[in-house]
Every structure is written in C-alpha cells, then in structure tokens.
Amino acid sequence: MSSSKYPRIIMHIDVNSAFLSWQAVYNLQKGDAVDLREIPSVVGGSREARNGIVLAKSTPAKAYGIQTGEVLWQARQKCPNLVSVPPNYELYMKCSNALYELVKEYSPKIQRFSIDEVFLDYTGMEKHFGEPVEAAHMIKDRIKHELGFTVNVGIGCNKLTAKVAGDLKKPDMVHTIYPHEIPQKMWTLPVEDLFMVGRQTKKKLYLLNIHTIGQLANTDCKLLNYKLKSFGTVIWCYANGIDESPVQSGYFLQMKGIGNSTTIRFDVTDTYFPLQNLLP
C-alpha cells in the first residue's frame, strides 16, 4: 500500500543490543577473533566487580535467562562461562554520533530520542529514496555494512506507532504499523509493551483486567481517567495509535539508555567520529 495516503510517515531506528554491539564491533576492529554478540556475554561493571549490573546482553546470554538490570554475580550463576566487559560510554557516544550522521542523509528532521534510538520524519521524502519500506531497508543495510552493527526500523504514521513497530521482532528487521494494521499488530501485544506503561501502571491495569493493548484501547476513557487521572487518557490515546508529537530536529539527546546511576563525563554534543576512527 502506498504511503502517500497518510499525512505523516515516521521511522524509529533502534540499535539492537546497542552497548554490546558497539563493544563487539570495536573489539573486532582491534583484531579480536571472537564476536561478543555470538557468545554468552554482557556489558556491566568491571571484570572484577561482583556488584555491577547487566546493562546489555547478547542473544546467547539471553538464552540462559540473563536479564538486563540483574547483578553480575547472579548472571554468572546462571552461566559460569559468561564473558563480561565494562561499559565504555565514550565509545557509545561516538557510535551514536556515527549513526546520527548516517541517518540524517535521509531527512532534514531527525530526533535523537536516546543514545541508541533515532526518530526520522520521512514525510515527503519518497521522491528521493522510494517508498518507506524500501528506504528503511536501505538505511538498515547501510548501517550494517558501513558501521558494523544492526538496527530495527519501525515505520508508522506517528512516533508512537513507529516505536512499537520497531520493537516487534528483532534483530535486523523492518516492520510497519500503519493505521489499518493497529488491531492486528499492536492490539494483540501485552499492555506493558506500550510506551509509557511501566511496572506500576501495569499492575494497576491488571487490576482492571486490562492485559493487552487492545483491551486498553477499548476501555472507557472516562474510567481510565478516574483511575489514573490524566495519565489514563494519555495511555488510552497511545493504545489507539494517537500521537501528534513532532519529530524535534536538532541535537536533542535524552540519555535514558545509560541509566540514572551513571553520569556521563563529557559533552553529549561531542564531535562526530566515524567508526573507522574509533581505534586508538
């Protein structure tokens, strides 16, 4: 279906296992024979620390039940051969900047939502790069071949549906959630998969017997407003795919990907470094 019938086309570009992927690419560039993404490995704490937490995990580590946010000693109990590497925030910012520089070739409106996520307003850009799905594959493949790591690209008519689309199946995938696809692709998902629905909100929704995004979307908005105040209206709108927020161009960077326990020691508007310049 052509995208021309929609007033806006938004892409959400999200790096797969960002911290671990970036470290893996860097190590391979330095000559390491083992790809961290292909073995049970995590990013978190120092090699000696037993009280650090898992910031990122590989797919093989996930198979052992290792969770982001758990302490390293618990992760090592699940997988004694687990490889852990300390975080390298300066490297992450350089990789994030490289991603930003590449994707901004495809639109004048780019918003850095976090260190590993970018929104791209593709509205009206079809004449330059083709239909959105075609362009998304082009962007995804360029990132993989030129920068060495993979991303998911979600496409929707607003930032909310683009973000949900990007999270559908990973890694290295392109997904769409256009308005007519919301009931099939979005409403079937667990309610906690909806943006802004955290653990506490999930508990409150479960008490209302709301377990899926579709159930939330079809709940009386007045009830949600009564139970959750104005936030109930916000998440009801999100569940129905309603989001008018613009893609805010510029160097805005919400550092949600690093976490509250870490203070970054350098300016987040640091000069762009391509990945080939990351070697010492």
Helices 199-207 and 221-228 sit at what angle, rounded to 10 degrees? 120
- Return the closest-CA partner of residue 273 out of 98, 90, 69, 13: 98
Asked if 117 is an active-site residue, the reply is yes
What are the pLDDT tens digits along the chain (280 aa)? 556 678 999 999 999 999 999 999 999 999 999 999 999 999 987 655 556 899 999 999 999 999 999 999 999 999 999 999 999 999 999 999 999 999 999 999 999 999 999 999 999 999 999 999 999 999 999 999 999 999 999 999 999 999 999 999 989 999 999 999 999 999 999 999 999 999 999 999 999 999 999 999 999 999 999 999 999 999 999 999 999 999 998 654 444 434 433 333 223 333 333 444 443 3
Q: Look at the alpha carbons of 131, 134, 137, 138 in this order and tell me if their dihedral is positive or negative.
A: negative
Quote the DSSP letter at residue 253: B
| Catalytic-labelled residue, pool 38, 101, 105, 117 | 117
Helices (H) and strands (E) in the chain, counts: 11, 8
Collapsing DSSP states into helix, strand and coil, what is residue 232? helix
- Could you confirm whether domain 3-19+89-183 is CATH 3.40.50.410? no
Residues 6 or more apart whose Cβ sits within 8 Å of residue 184? none
Where are the chain's structural domains? 3-19+89-183, 22-85
Q: What residues pair up with 10 in beta bridges, in sequence order?
A: 121, 156
From CA 263, how far away is CA 121, in angstroms rounded?
30
- Any alpha helices (H) in 229-278, and if so which ranges? 230-239
Q: Give the dihedral of Cα atoms 206, 211, 216, 221; nearest 10 deg.
A: -20
Class of the CATH domain delimited by 22-85: alpha beta
